[in-house]
Amino acid sequence: MDQQRAGETARILIEALPYIQRFSGTTVVIKYGGNAMENEELKNSFARDIVLMKAVGIHPVIVHGGGPQIGDLLARLGKESKFVQGMRVTDSETMDVVQMVLGGLVNKEIVNLIHRNGGRAIGLTGKDGELIRAKKMLLKGDSNDPALKAPEIIDIGHVGEVQGIDVRVLEMVAGSDFIPVIAPIGVDDEGISYNINADLVAGKVAEVLRAEKLILLTNVSGLKDKQDNILTGLSAQRVQELIDDGTIYGGMLPKIGCALDAVQNGVHSAHIIDGRVPHAVLLEILTNQGIGTLITRR
């Protein structure tokens, strides 16, 4: 290593030091999905980030998605994917595929990646120890029939929302050398399984753990204003103003809603960052500039 490169390496380490000192001993919940899960280089980059975080005393908890992988397997089985209001219609047969893909294929691949990069991880679904208690999600649709005064209720099958998180399971794992990797499958009081949006699960996990940070990996560079500039350092009030004036709309609204709920319920900060950037998690947590959108309660 030449002197210039050595100096640059030292500068980076010194810049990271105060962040390591500040966040050592804290919990960071990371929602992992999108392009970061589909590119081999990015998958290894993410795993190395997680292993390094654990090595310096930060406690990462991973909640992962897997929509594209579910869609691919359904297509190979000759089953069409259907969506209502962005939610996958999940009949019993589709739920079997969801459990195979999320609880098996995707979850164990992430665990294996962490092991290959020198860490220790344990894979969980919300069914393990009844970690995620769920209830059926019913969507409301607008009815075209003027005789119906109430909105139409749409049943999309085994799609759920979080009713509760058993924090004891997570504290047992997160307080050890192991990194929890959670598939967003919940179970109700009757033992019925539900597919739950990974952002929602990550937000609720962050809340019950009183996490320092909630990090949502996305396929965009962050929240942008109408001039296409990335916005960061936003308070919950400012985010609400951006929703009201139409700056935040469409597919970004659910993620923003998840981030707002988290910071308003005890999480110190929420971050929306671009999972397509190598080492995105470390760049956001351990550098002065960061790479995405930071949201705090105030």
pLDDT at residue 5, rounded to an integer: 78
State the average pLDDT over residues 114-130: 95
Q: What is the pLDDT of residues 4-59, one digit of tens each?
A: 777 787 888 888 999 999 999 999 999 998 767 888 899 999 999 999 999 999 99
Contacts 24+ apart (CB under 8 A), 235-240: 235/295, 235/296, 235/297, 235/298, 236/260, 236/263, 236/264, 236/295, 236/296, 236/297, 236/298, 237/298, 239/295
pLDDT at residue 1, rounded to an integer: 57
pLDDT at residue 66, rounded to an integer: 92
Which of 97-101, 148-152, 217-221 has the lowest average pLDDT? 148-152
Query: In what helix (H) or strand (E) does residue 116 lie, and over which residues does it extend?
Result: helix 107-116
Question: CA dihedral defined by 252, 253, 258, 262, rounded to 10 degrees?
Answer: 100
Confidence of residue 145 (pLDDT cuts 50, 70, 90): very low
* DSSP secondary structure of 173-224: HHTSSPEEEEE-EEE-TT--EEE--HHHHHHHHHHHTT-SEEEEEESSSS-B
pLDDT at residue 205, rounded to an integer: 97
Q: Say if residue 65's pLDDT is above 60.
A: yes
How far, CA to CA in Å, does 200 sit from each of 51, 139, 262, 294? 24, 16, 10, 18
Angle, to 10 degrees, between the axis of helix 252-263 and the axis of helix 236-244? 150
Count of other CB atoms within 10 angstroms of residue 272: 28
Across the strands, what pairs with 122? 180
Q: Say if residue 162's pLDDT is above 70.
A: yes
Report the C-alpha gap between 252 and 137 in whole angstroms.
20
Is 25 assigned to a binding site? no
State the average pLDDT over residues 172-193: 91
pLDDT at residue 151, rounded to an integer: 61
Confirm whether 9 is domain-assigned: no
Instruction: State phi, psi for 89 to the nearest 5 degrees.
Output: -65, 120
**Is the torsion defined by CA of 176, 43, 101, 255 positive or negative?**
positive
- Per DSSP, 101 falls in state I
State the average pLDDT over residues 154-177: 88
Q: What is the pLDDT of residues 225-279, one digit of tens each?
A: 888 888 888 998 998 889 888 888 877 888 888 999 999 999 999 999 999 999 9
Confirm whether 13 is domain-assigned: no
Number of domains in the chain: 1
Confirm whether 39 is domain-assigned: yes
Q: What is the pLDDT of residues 272-298, one digit of tens each?
A: 999 999 999 999 999 887 888 999 988
Is 175 assigned to a binding site? no
Confirm whether 14 is domain-assigned: no
Across the strands, what pairs with 152? 141
Confirm whether 75 is domain-assigned: yes
pLDDT at residue 150, rounded to an integer: 52
CB 174 within 8 A of CB 180: yes
Confirm whether 19 is domain-assigned: no
Q: Range of 285's domain?
A: 26-296
Is 297 assigned to a binding site? no
pLDDT at residue 204, rounded to an integer: 96
Report the C-alpha gap between 191 and 171 in whole angstroms.
23
Q: Say if residue 146's pLDDT is above 60.
A: no
Percent of the chain clearing pLDDT 90 (strictly above): 61
Is 195 assigned to a binding site? yes
pLDDT at residue 148, rounded to an integer: 41
Show the tokens assigned to 252. 């970004």
Q: Say if residue 135's pLDDT is above 80.
A: yes
Percent of the chain clearing pLDDT 70 (strictly above): 95
Confirm whether 1 is domain-assigned: no
Residue type, 58: I
Confirm whether 16 is domain-assigned: no
Q: Is 145 helix (H, G, I), strand (E, B) or coil?
A: coil
Q: What is the CATH classification number for the domain harbouring 209?
A: 3.40.1160.10
Question: Please, which residues have CB within 8 angstroms of residue 99's CB and are 6 or more apart in sequence?
Answer: 125, 185, 193
pLDDT at residue 217, rounded to an integer: 93
Angle, to 10 degrees, between the axis of helix 167-174 and the axis of helix 198-208? 80
Average pLDDT, the chain: 89
